[in-house]
Each structure stands twice: as structure tokens, then as C-alpha cells.
Amino acid sequence: MKPFWEVTPEEARKCLAATTWHPSITEYFPGGGWSTRFLTRGGMPVTMCRLNLIKGLGPALQIAEGFTVELPAKVHDVLDQRTNPTWPTTWFAPIVSGHGAFRDVYTVMNNWGANHGAISYGHIGADLISLAATLRIPVYMHNVANDRIFRPSSWAAFGTQCLESADYRACQNFGPLYA
């Protein structure tokens, strides 16, 4: 991966050649439009996140850092046909910790808000946590090491042992900045 401004015209042509364009299906996209289909290569560090809107709570963020993986073509095809083959596909493996919501891959998926997420290149979870704190959006699931995380120092007043709970209390106390 490289910044878009460094992509050469030849590289852009290759990317477009590896992408197919499909009419969107009306059960998901009643307004119509197009969907791109591509398969991400494996081995890239990525961060998957999801902002869930929870009734009675508001927005809450989930973050999973990990890596893209390549599956054998036959395995990919079988799995791809189980969802909607007109969608882009990135096979993702989160970094697991052996405990909590990141005990193993299955536990991550069991705690994830839905079967979708937004994926960014690089391990940017610490940046997302800092942004969420600034906006007063609690983060309720992440695998970012504590020594990489910055939150305002006032967060410590809401607890230093269980940082996830402290995040909720601080965000509730200070109120949202996104409204």
C-alpha cells in the first residue's frame, strides 16, 4: 500500500482491472447503484472498526487491529457465495490476546456489533481511541496495547483499573461533542 498520490497510472489501471462492477441488489440497496467487487491481498496490517448506534446509549466504537489473509481460491469462492458475491472481500484475522473479547477469533466475532466493519490500512486503533475520547464516544472493545493509547488525563478520575468502564463514565460525564 502507498498513498494514493504516489499511485502511478499503470498501477491504477491494474487496480481497476482487478475490480469488477455489479448492479447493487435491491434488497440491500433499494436506491440502486453499483457495487465493486475485489479481493484484498493478504499480509497487510489493518484496523477494522465499527461504530454501533445503541438505543439508550448512543454511539459506541469497536476496534480490532489485525492482518489481511489470503485463502485458497476454492475456500474463498465457497465462502463468498454464502453472502453476496457482488461485494468487495477482505479476509481479516484480528490479533488475539487469549482473554476477554479477544480471546480467539470466534470470541471477537461473537462480540462484534454486526458482520460488517470499516477497514483502514495500518494499525490505527490508538488514533481512533483518542479521537473517540475527544468526541466522547466510548470504546467498548479493542485490542490496542494500553501503552499506545492516549486519552485526556481527566479520564483517570473515572477509574484506572478497568479502562473500558472508565471510558463509559467519562464520556457520560463530559457529554457528547458530536451532537
Parallel, antiparallel, or unpaired: how do β-strands 139-141 and 58-68 relate?
A: parallel
Rounded CA-CA distance 15/18 in Å is 5
Q: What angle do CA 4, 5, 7 make, to 5 degrees?
A: 65
Cβ contacts of residue 118 below 8 Å, gap of 6+?
A: 48, 49, 50
pLDDT of residue 159: 94
Cβ contacts of residue 114 below 8 Å, gap of 6+?
A: 50, 52
DSSP SS3 for 30: coil
Residue 131 pLDDT > 70: yes
Predicted confidence (pLDDT) per residue in 70-83, tens digit: 999 999 889 888 87
Q: Side chain identity at 163, as an amino acid letter?
A: L
- Residue 152: pLDDT band with limits 50, 70, 90: very high
Predicted confidence (pLDDT) per residue in 21-38, tens digit: 888 887 877 777 788 888
